[in-house]
């Protein structure tokens, strides 16, 4: 066997030992975190529903695991959909995290799994309105050390804008989910401008009436880019 082939083989084995093993660790941690998300969602739903039933029986809070990588939390008129991506991601080298000491110490710390959280209207699922819009309100990134940070709109995006110093735990997840519930309830449905809905064909109105299929969704601005504030050691 030539020296070139030997060197290639050694390089391949090194990549498998280091990078592939690291990605398996990231996937394992993300899976474990998502299992914890499902536990927290279920516990929060049961706890809140007991309280809301005493307030008004029309207000329902419930949880539904749709598959191994997706679970739903219905809170009155809102639906939060938690979805775990099965792949591991790296960031562009221009991302602010590469200026942090944590990632400079070991670039493998920047590889993450993702748990996406979407906000839908509960009626979109109830009436099977397949054209309705949902919005990405939060992305939870988890790395090989079970440390995490969050990209999101609002206070939660500031609160968890840098990699955590400690591994993700159940109490933190409960706080995150509660913050997302507050954000979803506070974020109201706006009526579209009349110019956007003034014309409709006979066929369209018949379809809309038969399926209650008026396309609906909350308006939302969402940004995924982040700058790094070195003075405060956080992404902004």
d(CA 30, CA 189): 32
pLDDT mean over 201-216:
58
Rg of the chain over Cα atoms, rounded to whole angstroms, equals: 22
Q: Is the pLDDT higher at 5 or at 147?
A: 147
d(CA 46, CA 134): 24
Core vs surface per residue 22-43: b (16+ CB within 10 A) or e: bbebbbebbbebbebbbebbbe
- Residues in CB range of 19: below 8 A, 6 or more apart: 108
Confidence of residue 222 (pLDDT cuts 50, 70, 90): very low
Out of 45-54, 150-159, 210-219, pick the least confident: 210-219
| Residue among 82, 80, 75 nearest 35 (CA) | 82
| Residue among 87, 97, 37, 84 nearest 63 (CA) | 37
d(CA 111, CA 149): 12
Percent of the chain with pLDDT over 70: 79
Contact 96, 228 (CB under 8 A): yes
- Alpha-helix runs per DSSP H in the chain: 3-15, 21-55, 101-105, 122-126, 155-159, 170-186, 194-197, 202-211
16 pLDDT more than 70: yes
Each domain of the chain, given as residue ranges in start order, spans 3-235
Residue 131: the pLDDT is 78
Helix (H, G, I), strand (E, B) or coil at 73: strand
Query: Which pair of tokens denotes residue 53?
Result: 């039933």
229 pLDDT more than 50: no
Residue 220: the pLDDT is 39
171-186 pLDDT, tens digit per residue, is 999 999 999 999 999 8
Distances (CA, A) of 94 to 42, 66, 98, 144, 227: 38, 36, 7, 21, 10
| Backbone phi and psi for residue 226, each to the nearest 5 degrees, phi listed first | -140, 140
Confidence of residue 109 (pLDDT cuts 50, 70, 90): very high
Q: Is the pLDDT higher at 224 or at 219?
A: 219
Q: Is the pLDDT higher at 213 or at 79?
A: 79
86-103 pLDDT, tens digit per residue, is 999 998 999 888 999 999
């Amino acid at each position: 066997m030539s020296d070139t082939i030997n060197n290639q083989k050694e390089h391949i084995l090194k990549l498998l030992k280091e990078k592939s093993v690291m990605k398996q660790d990231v996937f394992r941690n993300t899976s474990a975190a998502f299992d914890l998300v499902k536990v927290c969602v279920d516990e929060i739903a049961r706890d809140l529903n007991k309280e809301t039933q005493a307030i008004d029986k029309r207000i329902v809070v419930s949880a539904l695991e749709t598959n191994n990588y997706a679970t739903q939390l219905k809170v009155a008129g809102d639906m939060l959909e938690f979805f775990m991506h099965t792949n591991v991601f790296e960031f562009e080298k221009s991302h602010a995290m590469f200026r942090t000491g944590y990632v400079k110490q070991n670039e493998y710390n920047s590889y993450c799994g993702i748990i996406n959280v979407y906000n839908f209207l509960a009626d979109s699922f109830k009436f099977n309105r397949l054209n309705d819009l949902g919005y990405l309100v939060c992305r939870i990134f988890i790395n090989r050390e079970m440390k995490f940070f969050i990209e999101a709109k609002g206070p939660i995006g500031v609160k968890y804008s840098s990699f955590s110093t400690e591994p993700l735990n159940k109490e933190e997840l409960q706080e995150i989910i509660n913050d997302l519930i507050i954000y979803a309830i506070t974020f109201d449905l706006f009526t579209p401008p009349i110019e956007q809905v003034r014309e409709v064909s006979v066929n369209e109105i018949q379809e809309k009436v038969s399926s209650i299929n008026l396309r609906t969704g909350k308006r939302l601005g969402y940004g995924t880019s982040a700058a790094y504030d070195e003075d405060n050691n956080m992404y902004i």
